[in-house]
């Protein structure tokens, strides 16, 4: 799982939304558990995009991730 940083994601970061490239086998529940444990922040919602060889998760946190404060 890795955080994607692009011009588009920089706009979303201001709204506490972050895009992660995740393993294609992970479900929304698994992604939520992993991120909440790693960043120690609650998640409001998760949207996923399934692509041919990868999967992206758009995650909205209740507050900013500490690395971006």
The pLDDT, as a whole number, for residue 68 is: 60
Q: What pLDDT band is residue 1 in, cutting at 50, 70 and 90?
A: confident
Residue 64: pLDDT band by 50, 70, 90 thresholds?
A: confident
Q: Return the closest-CA partner of residue 48 out of 60, 36, 37.
A: 60
Backbone angles phi, psi at 40, to 5 degrees: 60, 40
Q: How many CA atoms, within 13 angstroms, populate the side-chain half-sphere of residue 4? A: 18
For the stretch 21-57, pLDDT in tens is 999 999 999 999 999 999 898 999 999 999 988 999 9
Q: Would you place residue 69 in the very low, low, confident or very high pLDDT band (cuts 50, 70, 90)? A: low
- pTM given for the model: 0.84
Domain ranges within the chain, ordered by starting residue: 2-53
User: In sequence order, which residues have a C-beta less than 8 Å from that of residue 2 and are 6 or more positions away?
Assistant: 20, 21
């Amino acid at each position: 799982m890795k955080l994607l940083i692009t011009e588009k994601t920089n706009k979303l970061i201001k709204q506490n939304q972050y895009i992660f490239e995740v393993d294609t086998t992970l479900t929304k529940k698994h992604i939520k558990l992993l991120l909440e444990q790693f960043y120690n922040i609650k998640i409001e919602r998760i949207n996923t995009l399934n692509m041919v060889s990868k999967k992206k998760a758009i995650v909205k946190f209740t507050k900013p991730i500490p690395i971006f404060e």
